Structure 1
Amino acid sequence: MSSQKESTVRTLVVALLVCLVCSVFVAGAAVALRPIQVENSLLDKQRNILAIAGLGEASMSGSEVKTLFNERIVARLVDLETGKFSDEFDAQTFDPLAAAKDPALSENLSGAEDVASINRRENYSVVYMVENDEQQMETLILPVRGYGLWSTLHGFMALQGDLNTVQGFGFYQHAETPGLGGEVDNPNWRGLWPGKEIFNDEGQLAIRVIKGSVDSASPNADHQIDGLAGATLTANGVNNLLQYWLGENGFGPFIDNLRSGEA
């Protein structure tokens, strides 16, 4: 073999070994970091649930978040078909988003049903409750999601004990345009939600994000939230996801059962 061929072979062998070593290193790092990523994701979820419920401070450490969450928050599994609590899975470990991708644990939504553009809805979900010392529910926290302009918005809505008045509402994950649809993260806009009412006096779902500003003299003002300037499609997405998850195909039957003591 000529020296030129030997040199080429050596170069290829060295390149192959470098690629192999790098692949092993990257794969090992991914495996090693996976538990940390899962832990951080759980911590972020718990922090957001506490914030929506009006508990704790944003500056809390991870250990403080865990302690407060475990002390004040109770997770319960809900069968969305029956609108009642279920023991089919462990609420602490069940992942509704993963279930929504599993045909055995979810259902495909038709165009008319899928107002939130989520494609599939899980058969079971997990709700979170803040209880007092007598184990009576003070706040109910519901997971919600739906498509905006560019992305699926994932968030939580907290309802007071009357199951009608909003305690808090916000999103923890989305990819909407900063300064436009991204204003769903603006504390001023999020601050408009507490005190708003989900249902009207006839029990109909009435909450809406409107175009423009709410007229305080309007008879519907208690159910309306100011729109997002320049982000009509994102605001429409928020409306749609609320109509779905608070309606008959989402948590509507569960809220009715919980209110009547039959959940």
Structure 2
Amino acid sequence: MQRSNLYIVVFSGILTIVLAVLLSGTSVVLKPLQDKQVELDTKKKILGAVMDISNIKEPNEILELYKTRVTSMVVDINGELMEKDAKGNPLVAEKIDFQKNHNKYKKDVESRPYPIFMYMKEDGSGVDAYIFPMFGAGLWDWISGFIALDGDLNTIRGVAFDHKSETPGLGARITDEAVKSRYVGKKLYDESGSFQSVDMVKGEKGLPLDDHHIDGMSGATLTGKGVNAMLKDYFGYYSTFIEKKRAADQPVAEVVSTEEEMVEESAE
């Protein structure tokens, strides 16, 4: 039975509207679940940078551990606390999409909000480690990381890397425990206090390296360069905060003159 053009147009229009409503409804229903999964994944990576969570299977246990051990803040490029964005909305570190944040402010690093996460000591007496999120470019697409520093804000406690499409068995190895463990104990600053970062060298030789270099990944030179650039860039963005905090935490040496020294000074 042949249908008129009007019938076809009306039928197509109704079908389009129905499908649009169904898709919109599905998106609304699924969004809270998707947001919850993103929250869980992010918090797992943050905790994974400072501890082994491989034996924790229950999502609620992860979320409870995060709640009891992690606090957060947002700072600007000058290391100053940021409480609101340009529109006056409260800034919450956990809700900042650092991938979107990186892309949105790619050319204007001074405008970005920079989230920082603090892993607190079990007795609540202070910060055990600082975790810094970062984002960069690998061989084929984006790479990201959470880098944890000990309380000295110099020594790497652990790392948690992720990627979108690095080559399996090559660049994708940045997520392997064997590669991540190479960063543990490395230092960002040298003995004179100059920033050095930590670089992955070209090739994989299995040889011990200094405090600022780790062994590379065979066949993944470009991914390694991407990770190096990401660490150097983002620790550069966080450097003012780190240096201010390190200076504030530096104990002030007290000069105590002994009685003998006082006598010598008087004699002079």
Q: Tell me if both proteins adopt one fold, taking TM over 0.5 as the criterion.
A: yes
What displacement does 1:58 show?
A: 4.7
- Tell me whether 1:76 sits opposite 2:68 in the alignment: no
Alignment match, 1:197: 187
Shift of 1:200: 1.5
Amino acid across the alignment from 1:128: F
Q: Which residue of 2 aligns with 1:53?
A: 50
Aligned-pair CA distance for 1:145: 1.1
SS at match of 1:35: helix
Give SS of 2:14's match.
helix
Q: Secondary structure of the residue that 1:234 maps to in structure 2?
A: helix
Alignment partner of 1:208 is 2:199? yes
Q: Distance in 2 between matches of 1:96 and 1:38?
A: 12
List 4+ stretches of structure 1 deviating above 6 A.
none
SS in 2 for 1:202: coil
1:138 maps to 2:135: no
Is the CA contact 1:107–1:121 (under 8 Å) kept in the aligned structure 2?
no
Q: Distance in 2 between matches of 1:10 and 1:91?
A: 52
User: Which residue pairs with 1:259 in the alignment?
Assistant: 246
Match of 2:182, SS state, is coil
Structure 1 residue 201, shift from structure 2 partner: 1.3
Query: 1:136/1:78 Cα in 2 relative to 1: closer, same or farther (>3 Å)?
Result: same
> In 1, Cα distance between the equivalents of 2:172 and 2:127?
32
Q: Show the counterpart of 2:220.
A: 231
Of 12, 32, 44, the match for 1:35: 32
Give per-residue Cα distances to partners, 1:157-185, cap 9 Å, x unaligned.
Answer: 00111111111112234321222211111
Q: Which amino acid aligns with 1:256?
A: E
Q: Which residue in 1 is equivalent to 2:107?
A: 108
Structure 1 residue 85 and structure 2 residue 81: aligned?
Answer: yes
Counterpart CA distance in 2 for 1:122 and 1:229 is 37
- Structure whose residues are more often strand by fraction: 1
Give the superposition deviation at 1:10.
4.3
Residue identity opposite 2:223 in structure 1: T
For residues 101 and 121 of structure 1, the distance between their equivalents in structure 2, rounded to whole angstroms, comes to: 13
- Contact 2:72–2:116 at 8 Å: present in 1 too? yes
Deviations along 1:93-127, one digit per CA (max 9) or x if unpaired, are: 6525344555xxx4725xxxxxxxxxx56432110
Unaligned runs of 5+ in 1: 110-119
Paired positions, count: 240
CA separation in 2, counterparts of 1:33 and 1:171?
27
Structure 2 CA distance for partners of 1:180 and 1:35, relative to 1, 3 Å: same
5+ residue gaps in structure 2?
85-89, 250-268
**Is 1:129 aligned to residue 118 of structure 2?**
yes
Contact 2:144 2:163 in 1 (8 A): yes
TM-score between both structures, scaled by the size of structure 2? 0.80
Higher normalized contact order (CA 8 Å, seq sep 6+, divided by chain length): 1
Give the match's secondary structure for 1:246. helix
Deviation at 1:214, TM superposition (A): 5.4
Query: 1: CA distance between counterparts of 2:199 and 2:70?
Result: 28
- Corresponding residue number in structure 1 for 2:2: 4
CA contact (8 A) 2:102 2:135 kept: no
The more displaced of 190-199 and 206-215 is 206-215
Matched AA of 1:95: I
Q: Which residue of 2 aligns with 1:245?
A: 234
1:215 maps to a residue whose letter is: L
Match of 1:114 in 2: none
TM-score by length of 1: 0.81
Query: In the TM superposition, what is the alpha-carbon distance from 1:40 to its structure 2 partner?
Result: 0.9
Q: 1:101 to 1:148 in 2, by over 3 A?
A: closer
Give how far 1:17 is off: 3.1
In the aligned structure 1, how far is the partner of 2:230 from the partner of 2:103? Answer: 18
